[in-house]
Amino acid sequence: MGENKRLTLLVALALAGACGDDGASSASEAASASEATSAASTSPETSEGASGSTSDATSGSGSDSATGSTTGDDTTAGTATSVETSMGVKFDVAEMPDVGVDACDALNCGESEWSYIWIANSSESTVSKINTRTLVEEGRFLTRDTPGNPSRTSVSIDGRAVAVANRNGGIIKIWARPEDCAGDSTSTGAGDVKAWGEDDCVAWYTPFPEAASQRPVAWTSGVWSDETCQWEDQKVWVGEGRGPGVGFCDDDKIYVHRLNGDTGAVEETVELSYPCTTFGLYGGVVDSNNDFWVTRLFEGSPGALRIDYDTLTHDEAPAFYGYGITVDHEGLIWGGTGKPGKWDPGGQTWTAIVDSVNNVGVGLAEDQQDRMWVGMFGGIQAIDVASMTLLDAVLFEGEMSQCKGISVDVDGYIWAVPESQDRAYKVDPDTLDYEMFTGLVGAYTYSDMTG
């Protein structure tokens, strides 16, 4: 691909571990950790679609809820199963784009020294840190002091940290690497979940006590520093719906907050005069300007909103419809459902795919060959971003659940997380071979989990 196109692709939010100019951003959403012992049932959400089936896959329902009780004894170490997989590095950045950033270490461009996917174990109120190259779970963390029902996750552009949103309220930041942590006491995996407040890799936790529904979360890119060779001044966008209970909001307003990425302090709050009757704000993503796009699933028109990073003003995307949300390499905003589509902010138009996909509301992410991957019952489906036509599909042997979570890791592999299950799949987008990781608990994450 051309130099300019490669740069745009690298900074696109759907991609992990990318680099770019100071305006670059990451749509990666990070997972959080939660109650590992005696986790009480969390407030369920309504079913969000009818059942469906694919060839070789039985029917299932699309829901944004994951409830149940679990104890630490139920948590076992994850395992990986390979299905005709020939893995190789997919992230081709041999030619460094001229973006005014020195390639002083692996935090910039090229092969990263580490690569993790963060998957929320919603019913356990924890988040798992899984090495995408070895398929070994290297940490599991509580996301709140009481069951938080975590779902959306966002990974910073440099992959150093994850921010996790608890649907019951509260945002947590967790460091990916031990060298960034406050000390040596940190989880080593599923059987080693530290008590709340005892894990040194938890950077901060910000409570939102009025939240009845807290879902969207997304990192901004921050500003690249040649002096420190790091991204600095990173922020975390979050959405909030308020109400007297937990699960459904009941208010005539919705709220967007911007947090200091270093401290978790709320620096800006935007109050928006839109009704909050179900979940309020649903999915969230950051574009290349660090503006925050949020969906209003089940709340009527407008289907999505954009909050400007600099002015904190907002505008509407009336025709937008989607469950999951991402940004493609052209800066168009995609929504994932049975008939995924994209919103053109410049032309103010919504364009749906030519065909349809067998799902009832899922996540989606673009790979490095301009293919948009979307979840479906029993597998994943690729879509050509330009023509909006269907390409390859991958059906996972014996999989009967809908794959909610879709993400692309730093090496270009596609990850799929079936709803409320114990497993995740890693797919080679070129050969369509895949591996399976097991050991999760009520997994539910459909944001960009990889960075």
pLDDT given for residue 361 in this prediction: 86
Which pLDDT score is estimated for 284?
96
Give the type of residue at 57: A
Range of the domain at 66: 3-443
pLDDT tens figures, 34-64: 333 333 333 333 333 333 333 333 333 333 3
DSSP track, 332-377: PEEEESSS-EEEETTTTEEEE-SS--S-SS--EEE-TTSEEEEEEB
CATH number at residue 338: 2.130.10.10
pLDDT over 90 at 96, yes or no: no
Residues in a beta bridge with 140: 128
- What pLDDT is attached to residue 323? 86
Establish if 181 belongs to a structural domain: yes
pLDDT tens readout for residues 326-379: 999 999 999 998 899 999 999 999 999 999 999 988 999 999 999 999 999 999
Mean pLDDT of 245-249: 83
CB 406, CB 427: distance < 8 Å: no
Residue 417 sits at the vertex; the CA angle it makes with 170 and 295, to the nearest 5 degrees, is 50
Six token digits for residue 75? 């948590």
Tell me whether residue 448 is in a domain.
Answer: no
**The amino acid at 186:** T
- Domain contains 33: yes
pTM for the predicted model, two decimal places: 0.80
* Per-chain mean pLDDT for the chain: 81
The pLDDT assigned to 275 comes to 92
Does residue 173 lie within any of the structural domains? yes
The alpha carbon of residue 30 and the mean position of all alpha carbons in its chain are separated, in whole angstroms, by 6
Sign of the Cα pseudo-torsion (66, 291, 203, 247, in order): negative
On the question of pLDDT at 317 being above 80, the answer is yes
Distance CA 260, CA 167 (A): 20
Question: Based on the structure, what is the number of domains in the chain?
Answer: 1
Work out the percent of the chain whose per-residue pLDDT is above 70.
75
Q: What angle do CA 343, 348, 352 make, to 5 degrees?
A: 35
Residue 329 CA to residue 366 CA, distance in Å, equals 8
Residue 125 CA to residue 279 CA, distance in Å, equals 19
Q: Is the pLDDT of residue 109 over 80?
A: no
What mean pLDDT comes out for the span 369-394?
98
Please give the structure tokens belonging to residue 391. 């390409």
pLDDT for residue 12 is more than 80: no
- d(CA 18, CA 425) in angstroms, rounded, equals 22
The answer to the question of residue 450 being in a domain is: no
Q: Does 116 map to a domain? A: yes
Look at residue 111 in the predicted model and tell me its pLDDT.
58
355 falls within a domain: yes
User: Residue 173: its pLDDT value, please?
Assistant: 99
Summarize the confidence of residues 167-193 as an average pLDDT. Answer: 98
Q: Note whether residue 451 is domain-resident.
A: no
Task: Return d(Cα 409, Cα 403) in angstroms, integer.
Answer: 17
- Cα–Cα distances (Å) from 60 to 145, 287, 402, 434, 436, in that order, read 32, 33, 7, 22, 20
Q: What is the DSSP letter of 63?
A: B
